[in-house]
Chain A
């Protein structure tokens, strides 16, 4: 069983296998399931992801009214063709947003690695799909690569916003996605690790400060930027750029930053954007309580 990224890469390189294959084989060993069963389960997850994106691209709105409809706006904008960044990036962003808009509306999603960060992995997958035309099997492999890197983060650091801030959720998700983009684009296992490191380095310190405690503001747009970050980092790694700080040390740094993060910035809706005047106003409006009452508590 691999315990860190270095061991994962070593396993893949020494056996001449892809990271997705290493993950599938480990899952078979740990759970006693057959290859077909393991792949079948992941196929079901992929199906849920695809449906969530489809639903978000039709347009959904949350009960609070804080989020919804942005995925549609972005798709309409892409169609006009006057965008500045890039079509695949914007498509990934739009599909990440679509997933999280569905999540905010209490729709059905697949946690990757969490619900609040569920947009990044499927968003990037279904965007690169249009360029690379992968087989269904390759798309499932994408999820196993994401899972392999997420597995390392979850066991050595954290994937919980309450424990480690948003860096542990969207940060981890973006790193996982970047590593998977590299594999599906034909990169090496080592390049996957570089992409994960580059992504996570740029997510370090990100706090979890949900307005009114809802998984909406800023979560939906954090997924958007997580997807964009993953795409850029994957391209950088594929170009041959490496991270001076090895991936495992970046993960460890993320863990330690999480430990030193004040409680008000770890999913308590007490600090950061949640504590801004507008954040407080929205909270009061949604829960039907006056701000004066809140202050006197």
Chain B
């Protein structure tokens, strides 16, 4: 079931006018920022489907930038997000894409700075709920509702078991897990949603495992 909590239905508390096109967009932007782990210096945002047709009317552009600035759905600063980003010198471009996507409310977000960049695809499925369906070319499914860790690793046997063993040792329960790779034997991505918050020490332990390249934590 896609919706698990009554507060997915009654809620979120948010700045209008649209839960999918404003609150959902803010959450997609904020997820991108969290994954980059800092404020980006530039952003390239592409809108598809209903997002492309109506983003100006719904404030989708304003909201997604608000998310990049780390504003929550109810943060009134969202309204001035474009101006605030400009003041901070963040370069932002928007494009409307014609391509047909699986979900009508789809946004592709590329953000970065001198140190690095990332690209993700987010969908807004209704009532403010979102899913991240692609990250740096990897397919995944991330709701952002549960604490999660993303592990980039070499596609080798035992990598998944090693990570699961570390989590088990610290009595951390896995709620949902996805594994994805672009090519056999090359880079792969584990998306692990867990029931409780994960301490930095656990992340360090996972990072130190063989074949692990990068570990990122996401907290709702």
Contact = CB atoms under 8 A, between A and B. Distances in A.
Specify the main secondary structure of chain A where it touches its partner.
Answer: helix
A14 to B, nearest CB: 21
A148 B6 contact: yes
A40 B7 CA distance: 12
Contact of A104 (B2, B9, B17, B23): B17
Nearest to A287: B56
A23 B6 contact: yes
Given A1-B1, A154-B2, 13 more contacts: A27-B5, A106-B79, A107-B15, A108-B16, A109-B16, A113-B10, A114-B20, A116-B17, A161-B20, A213-B53, A214-B58, A266-B50, A267-B54
Given A160-B125, A269-B54, A215 B10 contact: no
B100 to A, nearest CB: 9
A272 to B, nearest CB: 13
Nearest to A47: B13
A3 interface: yes
A121 B103 CA distance: 27
B14 interface: yes
Interface of A: 1, 3, 23, 26-27, 30-31, 38, 41-42, 44-45, 48, 102-116, 118, 121, 143-144, 146-148, 150-151, 154-155, 158-163, 168, 176, 210, 212-216, 263, 266-270, 286-287
A168 B10 CA distance: 15
A129 B100 CA distance: 46
A155 B3 contact: yes
A70 B5 CA distance: 34
Contacts, number: 171
Interface of B: 1-23, 49-50, 53-59, 74, 76, 79, 103-105, 124-128
Contacts of A31: 5
B9 A115 contact: no
B1 A103 contact: no
A143 B7 CA distance: 10
A110 B57 contact: no
A268 B17 contact: no
Given A103-B16, A106-B79, A267-B50, A27 B6 contact: yes
Contacts of B9: 112-113, 146-147, 150-151, 154, 159, 176
Nearest to A173: B9
Contacts of B3: 151, 154-155
Which residue, B11, B18, B50, B103, has most C-beta atoms of chain A within 10 A? Answer: B18
A194 to B, nearest CB: 20
* Most chain A Cβ neighbours within 10 Å, of B4, B6, B14, B57: B6
Given A154-B9, A155-B3, A162-B50, A114 B59 contact: no
Given A148-B6, A215-B18, A266-B104, A163 B126 contact: yes
A113 B13 CA distance: 11
A3 B2 CA distance: 11
Contacts of B6: 23, 26-27, 38, 42, 144, 147-148, 151
A111 B12 contact: yes
A115 B17 contact: yes
A140 to B, nearest CB: 10
Contacts of A215: 16-18, 57-58
Contacts of A114: 18-20, 126-128
Contact of B13 (A3, A110, A168, A268): A110
